[in-house]
Structure 1
Amino acid sequence: MQMKDLAVVAFLSYLATVNAWSPTNSYTPGKVSCDSNINLIRKADGLAPEESEWLAKREGNTKEALKTFLDRATSKFSDNSIVDSIFSSTTPRVGFASCGGGYRAMFVDAGVVAAMDERTVGANENGLGGLLQGISYMAGSSGGSFFTTTVTYNNWTSVQEIIDQMKDGDHSIWDLSNSPTNPGGSDTEYTNEVFANITESIKLKNEAGFDVSLADAWGLAFGYYFFPSLPRGGYSYQWSDIQDADVFKNGEMPLLIEIAKVEKAGETSVDLSSTTIEMSPFEFGSWEPTINTFSNMKYLGTEVNNGSPVNAGECIAGFDNVDFLTSASTNVINTLNNNGGFYASMIQSFKTRFLPNVTTTGHIDVNIAAPNPFKGTSNYESDSSIVDNDQLYLVDGGIDGQVIPFTPLMRKERDLDLVIATDTTADTDDVWPFGSALVATYERQFMEIGKTDAFPYVPDTETIVNLGINKNPTFFGCNSSNLTDLAYVPPLVVYLPNRAYSYDTNVSTSVLTYTREQRLGMIRNGFEIATRNNFTDDPDFLGCMGCAVMRRKQEQIGLEWPSECQQCFQMYCWNGTISNSNTVSVPSSSVSSNSSTAVSTGISSATGASTENFSTIHIETSTTVTCHECEEAQATATVEVCDECEQGNTQVTATVECEECEEIATNGHHTTTTLTSMTTTTQICEECEEAQAQATATSPVTVSANVGSESTESSSNSSNDYSNNSNGSSNDSSNSSSNDSSNGSSNGSSGSNNTVNSSSSSKPILQVTTGVASAASQYGVIVNENNADSLVIKSFVTLIAIVGTVIELL
């Protein structure tokens, strides 16, 4: 028997053990007996008893895992006795937020988590191995939910296990050689079978009296890629059944929470004021004042009145289908539908294909939870429209701009000390982040809907770009004493934005097909994002992550802060510096050969110099000019950029030295300003540090770095793309109270100037090969989760491709 077949048998045995099937053994929910006095709802005034009991079990495991991780992370500290002091009385509590962004997010997040997983080959030597074993909560939204659902509901499998069996065309987990719009590729018989199964499942659910929509088809279609070993992609697999899995019952895995947004009746979109729904193994509900109630997940779909079943002793089970709830967290169909025109016609074509002879409520583009589990409840504090409605309409959890699912992890009731968050948003047209998701969650806490939330102070998006925060790990909320003006002291946040190391991971959300090589390239780059290129950018980053884990407990207990942690926080904490007032507004674009023009965004000097004082020496003319003059002259520039930046650079560039940045050279950095397609960016040229005496850096320098080495010339303690030379100090707005312990981070790079730029020879991690992402797809529609109503067709050729895809489905 093949290894894959053995895995299938083992997983099916696991499902049989936990009885993980709906009562009807299909996608259709069914009636079951329940206690005649059961009440399925509770007020959101604390954790559910089940969650509290589970958390106690989990912390029995996380204590040992975090202690082991921190012992390793601090092993080179001059004094690491703080670890023993912390664990003598308490255990830090850590969460992971898996950002949205379609398959791009799924793969990058997979790589980040692999770097934290002791089960990953090389993670302990060259990564953050063991940290995942110490994480208590994992939250997912949109494309991040694709990742979290996959690993959680495949019996807490590892990324290593997934890639070990990864092939093209064998229908293994994440085999995306074919799109969900044509799952069989040239095998039309397979495609027809899949579509027939989806259509039948929806039809039978509807005939049983449950509202259906295209969102049902969305979830069922993706299930084939996440649960390929299960019949029909897990069409009868229940969300709540993870409670019965030994790996969960024993607290050997994090608790998964995925989020969706509520679209009110009569509305067609959501925004920051919309209600957030949490979906955990135990409950379905919201902390927010519009609902303020949680419902029992197992019996979701039961008709209730204020939580009591209308028919005493009779409940519904199986409505909490894994594919359906994953769909609720990832559904962007309504975004397409709201754009009208061609998109609306396309949605109608899908309706004809998947909802034939089905009676719908007219809401064909949202996930419909009906009966509404909150019908008739009285715990809400404002706006009864949601609890008054017979149905609950759910859409993608990141469409409101909160693409990073912070909210479940920030709750005071869960008492987390640290949240590690990826950012794989498509903020720019060439699909790199510039921090809009951070800003969205920060701002929402000051709205009525978010009044019971707290989130650390963060800068505006222009500052995030100007300081290079969107390209480097950054810590937010480093000093709890600066957060007392918030509703409560929130966890410290470690922000890990998507950037290119060995692979261009700025692939459009709309790309639905990936070769094995592309998948592995994306995952490997995610590993490198989490580890600062396997610690070659900063050999001390492992210790800095350890400091982040310990910080809140160190503050609470009053322990002495190690000098190494102080240095880490000076390097990685945002200190409240704001630089948007000194912005030179110029268009931004990527140097990547396979990227499109980026969104316009402000770029300024990393040192916060004013526009009138900021000048550069233009190499070709040896004259001092302003940035604007440099931009006009860039078309004639011929000076080479560093070797590490040349890959994929097909546009005219010039490298100049900024007079205002000359001080940085005294801190051990050679700093250059690069002009590319009318974009002025300032960044540390790590490859030129050895030759920093050559002010113009006209000769490319190549350095080889060994993974895991204790010291390499290209990865000294100071060469982490951050400079402690920020002039600014926050003295305006509420951000002034977030002035943490460090000087500001400084990079000054455009969010779009983010392509593969490392010439380091790194030891292969995850046995992954590298390559250039082709980003080929049948679709050319950009779904920007932060501006979900802004969808554009990139070209007429793409339009034809979409039409062809629609025809395929008919």
Structure 2
Amino acid sequence: MKLNSVLFSTALLSVSNVAQAWSPTNGYAPATVDCADDINIIRAADGLSESESNWVAKRDAVTQAALKTFLTRATAKFTDNSLLNSLFSESSNVPRVAIAASGGGYSATFGDAGMVAAMDDRTDGANEHGLGGLLQGTTYLAAISGGSWFTSTVVFNNWTSVQDIINQMGDNDGSIWDIEQSALTPGGSDTAFTNQRFENISSALSEKSAAGFPTSLADVWGLAFSYYFFPSLPEGGIGYTWSTIQDTDVFQNAEMPYLIQLGKAQIPGAVSVDFNSPTIEVTPYEFGSWEPSIKSFAEIKFLGTEVSNGIPTTPGKCVEGFDNVNFMIGTCTNLIEYVEQANSAYYNAIIDQLATLFLGNSSKSADRTLAIYSPNPFKDTTNYESGSDTTFVTDDKLLLVDGGIDGQVIPFIPVMKQEREVDVVFALDQTADADDKFPNGDSLVYTYERQFTEAGKYDAFPYVPDIESFVELGLNKKPVFFGCDASNMTNLRYVPPVLVYLPNVAYSYASNISTLQLSFTAEERLDLIRNGFEAATMGNFTQDPEFLGCVGCAVMRRKQEKLGLEWPEECQQCFTNYCWDGSTKADIKNTTSIANNTSTSTTTTTDGLNYTTILTTIDSDAMSTIHFETSTTITCHECEEATPAPSIAYVTSTAECEENADWDVRAITTISCGDEERIQSNTHKYTTVSSLITTTEVCTECAEVEAQATAVTSGNANGDNNNDNDKYTYGTGSKTSTNEHTEEAVSKSDAQSNVSSVTIPTVLQVTTDIPSQAGSSQYSVIVNENAANNMGIQHLLASVVALGLFIGLS
């Protein structure tokens, strides 16, 4: 368990640095150590720290070479490379890159891992089919919640690669991310194993409490999950400290990006947090906030020291070991508060039992679900702005929650700071906020709105559409660039970086998985990682062979604008294709006008990369316009020239056709504007075929759809007759996946063709077949960071009940 054991684990640290890596108590409890008599652990948030500035200057020298290699490859087919040459003629012209990895539970951990792997030249195939080398050219890596699980894993395992983790990944073998068993029931059916694991956690908490530091279920959360991130360390790194990163060779040589993870400060007694609650940055050197109510940073190594305005109350005595990696991870990923916010007597009774087991006398504390930083590192500081809430600098404790609880589940705030001079931010969105549990862009919208609040008044974020427009325009289904033109953002406080938005989209796997699913097989993990790779590269560039060059254009854009350099024509075309043009749902321009007495055959419009709406039959002299909405719904104008009797109601009736046993087709017959009007005017007769998203076939006659389905599926040598649960299959290359839908199902072959029409090269050595989603995981819940609902909480608590049975709570 202790220091001598960790000497043999060199995967994380060199032997010479182990003593600095471990808590002075060799365990979870912090301890008092000697420090300088005149030390002050607080600085005002009036710029970057000297430590960060010096480190970034060193990192710039590393990223310059990496970015030149990446951009040379990305722009190899450009007709004019003068821009690239100009940018690298002087070091000050080189772009600065940041990555913001979203939360979303383990699903985000693996989705973010796949996207970052696509940018890592250490990943097999990343240079041939991905964005390999971009990670080596990245200066800042920010993360939140489930994304913090990913970044903590790779950073505190000596900046290991996703490829290395994949190469040793398995089930029940103690490898990194071996989560076939949930952290809440780590032994599965082995009760003794679970009891021993939680006995270790209870012992760790007791040691911290005995040393005079309060504990909460946030400590439990961090300790329980860290076993899966640091399996080679005793008890999941029981004494591993965050400030260790400062002493590692890979960080000192600036061979990795600068890590930033986020929490939110909550007022004691408050129900939750909002936009004005301070955002807390956790970095290799510091812990603190830029925002008006704190506006200070503390040296992270000395967290836990009792101070007044940054000066230890006992001169020459400081605390080390409070910055435990497990605790910091627990702070930035803790979702337990969601359960307590359900305010159910039944649920709270179970939480009471867990708190009693792990927290003892603190089990009834109002802070039991929050990460407790006591003593408060900002006690008596004077850097806050006049008029701000002074609670965070006057209270004896600082309470933190998951950084995404206020809805900002992508950590934009730190990498958008003007002080960090970032030129482009790659936003990895693994949230599950849309109805289909894919992203809906709300994190972007919330951060955009926040800049107009008191807490965000010093920040800037590019313009984005509202959430409904985000979805209607299909911006959540493909890569999108925001803030492409600096000249359009002069009304903001400063010009923010270009934002490259990379949402989770199902390419080879049904990746719309709940935030609170807590166990995954090795196959599921690999498939989520692979799909993340494909989502970051548009199917390894099979959807758009020019996407690599377009990413290069986004990286160069801000410096090109600043220096007034010539813009390549290829970049202009890229920005036409990928930049949000400012439109909203009210400005959808894909319309087709139909003149009177005109017959139109077939009109097709493709939204993004995931589905196609096809208008196959128009027989009308009265319908003026058909709008092609991105939700794959065709909305027609009222029958302007139809002259039905006033008593006729305009209604839509829906009837379900018989299932076609031969082709597994379920169709819906819809008659618009009423039977009588249809007979009189012969208007509104049309057929649409949609796939993947709406999975609905609309027709005028059931027989027509059956005939169409037969035509579509004819030639299928296998003649699949499987009707169970209206399943349809999709995949890429030789990989296929079965995904169950409760909506009306479209024909299987049509759905398959719209997921990917070309073969995607295999990368990340993920070549196993995709298993069925039905019953593949121990927990199946529906909840996310900013929209927890009762169903998700019920499933989570069901697992807690199971845990209670294991450890004798009931």
TM-score category, normalised to shorter length: 0.7 to 0.9
Is the contact between residue 356 and residue 363 of structure 2 (CA under 8 Å) also seen in structure 1?
A: no
Pairwise CA distance, 1:680: 7.7
Trace 1:756-795 onto structure 2 (pairs within 5 A).
757-758=755-756, 760-768=758-766, 769-771=768-770, 772-774=772-774, 776-788=776-788, 790-793=789-792
Pairwise CA distance, 1:784: 1.9
Deviates more, 1:271-280 or 1:351-360: 351-360
Is the contact between residue 28 and residue 239 of structure 2 (CA under 8 Å) also seen in structure 1?
A: yes
Provide the identity percentage: 52
SS across alignment from 1:395: strand
2:628 maps to a residue whose letter is S
Is the contact between residue 184 and residue 800 of structure 2 (CA under 8 Å) also seen in structure 1?
A: no
Q: Is 1:468 aligned to 2:474, yes or no?
A: yes
SS across alignment from 1:104: helix
Q: What's the counterpart of residue 805 of structure 2? A: 807
Q: What's the counterpart of residue 334 of structure 1? A: 337
1:270 maps to a residue whose letter is V
Name which of 147, 150, 154 aligns with 1:151: 154
CA distance in 2, matches of 1:556, 1:677: 41
CA distance in 2, matches of 1:512, 1:300: 30
Pairwise CA distance, 1:607: 7.8
Q: Is 1:80 aligned to 2:81, yes or no?
A: yes
Q: Alpha carbons of 1:806 and 1:76: their partners in 2 closer, same or farther (altered >3 Å)?
A: same
Q: Alpha carbons of 1:676 and 1:326: their partners in 2 closer, same or farther (altered >3 Å)?
A: closer
CA distance in 1, matches of 2:99, 2:466: 23
Q: What's the counterpart of residue 501 of structure 1? A: 507
TM-score (norm. length: structure 1): 0.80
List per-residue Cα deviations over 1:105-159 (Å, max 9, x = no partner): 0000000000000000000000000000000000010101000100110000000
Pairwise CA distance, 1:805: 3.5
Q: Is 1:68 aligned to 2:62, yes or no?
A: no
Pairwise CA distance, 1:804: 2.7
Q: Alpha carbons of 1:414 and 1:283: their partners in 2 closer, same or farther (altered >3 Å)?
A: same
Which residues of structure 1 form unaligned runs of 5+? 584-590, 593-602, 617-627, 641-645, 657-670, 683-694, 704-713, 716-752
Q: What's the counterpart of residue 525 of structure 2? A: 519
SS across alignment from 1:295: strand
Q: Alpha carbons of 1:655 and 1:175: their partners in 2 closer, same or farther (altered >3 Å)?
A: farther
Q: What's the counterpart of residue 38 of structure 2? A: 37
CA distance in 2, matches of 1:651, 1:380: 62
Deviates more, 1:630-639 or 1:213-222: 630-639
Q: What's the counterpart of residue 439 of structure 2? A: 433
Q: Alpha carbons of 1:650 and 1:159: their partners in 2 closer, same or farther (altered >3 Å)?
A: farther
Trace 1:253-264 onto structure 2 (pairs within 5 A).
253-264=256-267
Is the contact between residue 637 and residue 654 of structure 1 (CA under 8 Å) also seen in structure 2?
A: no
Q: Is 1:352 aligned to 2:350, yes or no?
A: no
Q: What's the counterpart of residue 422 of structure 1? A: 428
SS across alignment from 2:268: coil
1:760 maps to a residue whose letter is V
Which residues of structure 2 form unaligned runs of 5+? 590-609, 612-625, 640-648, 672-686, 699-707, 717-730, 733-750
SS across alignment from 1:568: helix
Is the contact between residue 117 and residue 133 of structure 1 (CA under 8 Å) also seen in structure 2?
A: yes
CA distance in 1, matches of 2:354, 2:769: 36
SS across alignment from 1:31: strand
Q: Alpha carbons of 1:675 and 1:71: their partners in 2 closer, same or farther (altered >3 Å)?
A: closer
Is the contact between residue 7 and residue 15 of structure 2 (CA under 8 Å) also seen in structure 1?
A: no
Is the contact between residue 407 and residue 786 of structure 2 (CA under 8 Å) also seen in structure 1?
A: yes
Is the contact between residue 240 and residue 325 of structure 2 (CA under 8 Å) also seen in structure 1?
A: yes
Q: Alpha carbons of 1:217 and 1:445: their partners in 2 closer, same or farther (altered >3 Å)?
A: same
Give the aligned CA root-mean-square deviation in angstroms.
3.5
Q: What's the counterpart of residue 395 of structure 1? A: 401
SS across alignment from 2:262: strand
Pairwise CA distance, 1:87: 1.2
CA distance in 2, matches of 1:702, 1:215: 57
Deviates more, 1:778-787 or 1:69-78: 778-787
1:426 maps to a residue whose letter is A
Q: How many aligned residue pairs are there?
A: 697
Pairwise CA distance, 1:778: 4.1
Q: Alpha carbons of 1:131 and 1:675: their partners in 2 closer, same or farther (altered >3 Å)?
A: closer
List per-residue Cα deviations over 1:517-555 (Å, max 9, x = no partner): 000000000000011001000000000000010000000
Q: What's the counterpart of residue 23 of structure 1? A: 24
Name which of 690, 693, 696 aligns with 1:674: 690
Trace 1:228-377 onto structure 2 (pairs within 5 A).
228-341=231-344, 342-356=346-360, 361-377=365-381
Pairwise CA distance, 1:633: 4.3
CA distance in 2, matches of 1:318, 1:701: 67
1:321 maps to a residue whose letter is N
Q: What's the counterpart of residue 162 of structure 1? A: 165
Pairwise CA distance, 1:94: 0.5
Pairwise CA distance, 1:466: 1.1
TM-score (norm. length: structure 2): 0.80
Q: Alpha carbons of 1:794 and 1:273: their partners in 2 closer, same or farther (altered >3 Å)?
A: closer
Pairwise CA distance, 1:360: 7.1
Pairwise CA distance, 1:637: 9.5
SS across alignment from 1:786: coil
Q: What's the counterpart of residue 192 of structure 1? A: 195
CA distance in 2, matches of 1:88, 1:96: 25
CA distance in 2, matches of 1:435, 1:73: 27
Q: Is 1:537 aligned to 2:537, yes or no?
A: no
List per-residue Cα deviations over 1:403-422 (Å, max 9, x = no partner): 00000000000010000011
CA distance in 1, matches of 2:305, 2:421: 32
CA distance in 2, matches of 1:512, 1:61: 37
Pairwise CA distance, 1:458: 0.3
Q: Give the number of the structure whose alpha-carbon radius of gyration is greater.
A: 2
Q: What's the counterpart of residue 699 of structure 1? A: 712
Q: What's the counterpart of residue 616 of structure 2? A: none
Is the contact between residue 477 and residue 493 of structure 1 (CA under 8 Å) also seen in structure 2?
A: yes
Q: What's the counterpart of residue 534 of structure 2? A: 528
Is the contact between residue 259 and residue 405 of structure 1 (CA under 8 Å) also seen in structure 2?
A: yes
Q: Alpha carbons of 1:786 and 1:458: their partners in 2 closer, same or farther (altered >3 Å)?
A: same
List per-residue Cα deviations over 1:624-656 (Å, max 9, x = no partner): xxxx9997447449899xxxxx9xx98647999
Pairwise CA distance, 1:8: 6.6
Q: What's the counterpart of residue 628 of structure 2? A: 605
Pairwise CA distance, 1:192: 2.1
SS across alignment from 1:763: coil
Is the contact between residue 692 and residue 754 of structure 2 (CA under 8 Å) also seen in structure 1?
A: no
CA distance in 2, matches of 1:438, 1:107: 21
